Chains A and B, each alone.
Chain A
């Protein structure tokens, strides 16, 4: 018997900051809409396990886009992108998510994101709490601080660097096949894109002095961080959670930087109570 995934891939044309982008996304399931945003230097394939999980897609309509310049979302035709350095900015990222939600007619979707995508969760909760019923931020901190990004896009540094980033930002306790898959996914992203994504991650995302403005009564905030993650420590996430009244933080044991991909069954164990809680709240609203 032929095995076919319930996942469907589509293209949608979105105009963000005056530029039209042809955006690829995958979707599956039915029920509460949930945008699943990939990490920096990644793409929607990181979410394949969730998109195929019968329990999750029986309650949730998952949408996993590729940001422009990632995966099958090519650079825009109307821009001479080769004459400028790619940079993911906070404003673009916010507007992209709003445009996607609006174009697909999503009704106050849940937003879940990992790392670069995870940091966006809190920016959305801060700026657009009425547009999202809940956000789930995987591996987040208040701000990142300085970092050297040049090694991500340097003519003398091979793709092996991004491969190792993927492999060793997954916990050693996790199955080899998943760790290698994370590594493979990391290698797919164009070098300038990986570097440009990290501009948002390290520079443009900064919740300093704003955390107390996040209204979790309007938009519920959940946070998940792996204990093995060297880039966002559990301690950093706990510090952030303590500043956001009403937010809920869970430490993921034996997980690192790419939870949903490095060990999907364990990630699901931590995610399901959150999804069930959101579903219950959605029934009563």
Chain B
């Protein structure tokens, strides 16, 4: 099944989808953060600058800095990305409460921009199921 946002070949199209989304345009206004999303031993970094996604970096990202990270196993992300996710994998907040995902780093920064973060993940889900 795979996890769409980890695949380097998807980076450009996902970035364009994020930047074209009308809700994310509003939700991410004023957001300048580097968001690390980790699936098992792989990760990508989504770079927001003033609300615009400038890059999704999944190749050679091991040494890149980030502000906050959302971490889960590949299995957790595969469940999360299902069109109708199973319970406790449908939202990142609920998933964290149930121990399926972890938020690390600048958690206050993450919560400040939580609408943008969750909308971004919803767009990944939409793209995964296209």
Q: Is A228 an interface residue (CB 8 A)?
A: yes
A230 CA to B87 CA, complexed, in Å: 8
B87 in contact with A227 (CB, 8 Å): yes
A227 CA to B98 CA, complexed, in Å: 13
Q: Is B118 an interface residue (CB 8 A)?
A: yes
A228 in contact with B93 (CB, 8 Å): no
B90 in contact with A228 (CB, 8 Å): yes
Q: Is B114 an interface residue (CB 8 A)?
A: yes
Most buried by B among A151, A154, A164: A164
Q: Is A167 an interface residue (CB 8 A)?
A: yes
Q: Is B62 an interface residue (CB 8 A)?
A: no
CB < 8 Å: which of B85, B94, B109, B114 contacts A169?
B94
Which residues of chain A (209-267) have a CB below 8 Å from chain B?
227-228, 230-231, 256
A168 in contact with B112 (CB, 8 Å): no
Minimum C-beta distance from A213 to chain B (A): 30
B112 in contact with A165 (CB, 8 Å): no
Q: Which residues of A contact B51 (CB under 8 A)?
A: none
Known contacts A230-B98, A231-B97; decide if A161 and B112 are in contact (CB<8 Å): yes
Would you give the 0/1 interface string for B50-64, flagging 1 where the beta carbon is closer than 8 Å to chain A? 000000000000000
Minimum C-beta distance from B122 to chain A (A): 10
Q: Please, which residue of chain B has its CB at the minimum distance from the CB of A151?
A: B111
Q: Which residues of B contact A168 (CB under 8 A)?
A: 90-94, 118
Minimum C-beta distance from B34 to chain A (A): 18
Q: Is B1 an interface residue (CB 8 A)?
A: no
Q: Which residues of A contact B84 (CB under 8 A)?
A: 172-173
Q: Which residues of B contact A154 (CB under 8 A)?
A: 108, 111
Q: Which residues of B contact A231 (CB under 8 A)?
A: 94, 97
Which residues of chain B (83-119) have a CB below 8 Å from chain A?
84-85, 87-88, 90-95, 97-98, 107-109, 111-116, 118
Known contacts A157-B108, A161-B111; decide if A230 and B94 are in contact (CB<8 Å): yes
Q: Which residues of B contact A230 (CB under 8 A)?
A: 87-88, 91, 93-95, 97-98
A151 CA to B107 CA, complexed, in Å: 9
Q: Please, which residue of chain A has its CB at the minimum distance from the CB of B98?
A: A230
Minimum C-beta distance from A168 to chain B (A): 3
Q: Which residues of A contact B114 (CB under 8 A)?
A: 158, 160-161, 163-164
Known contacts A156-B108, A156-B112, A157-B111; decide if A164 and B118 are in contact (CB<8 Å): yes
Q: Which residues of A contact B87 (CB under 8 A)?
A: 227-228, 230
A227 CA to B87 CA, complexed, in Å: 7
Q: Which residues of A contact B85 (CB under 8 A)?
A: 172
Q: Is A120 an interface residue (CB 8 A)?
A: no
Q: Please, which residue of chain B has its CB at the minimum distance from the CB of A227?
A: B87
Q: Which residues of B contact A228 (CB under 8 A)?
A: 87-88, 90, 94
Add 20 more A-B contacts to A156-B108, A228-B87 (CB < 8 A).
Answer: A151-B107, A158-B111, A160-B111, A160-B114, A160-B116, A161-B112, A163-B115, A164-B115, A167-B91, A168-B90, A168-B92, A168-B93, A169-B91, A169-B94, A172-B90, A173-B84, A230-B93, A230-B94, A230-B95, A231-B94
The 20 sampled A-B contact pairs (Cβ below 8 Å) are: A158-B113, A160-B111, A160-B112, A161-B112, A161-B114, A163-B114, A164-B93, A167-B118, A168-B90, A168-B94, A168-B118, A169-B91, A169-B93, A169-B94, A172-B84, A228-B88, A230-B88, A230-B91, A230-B93, A231-B97
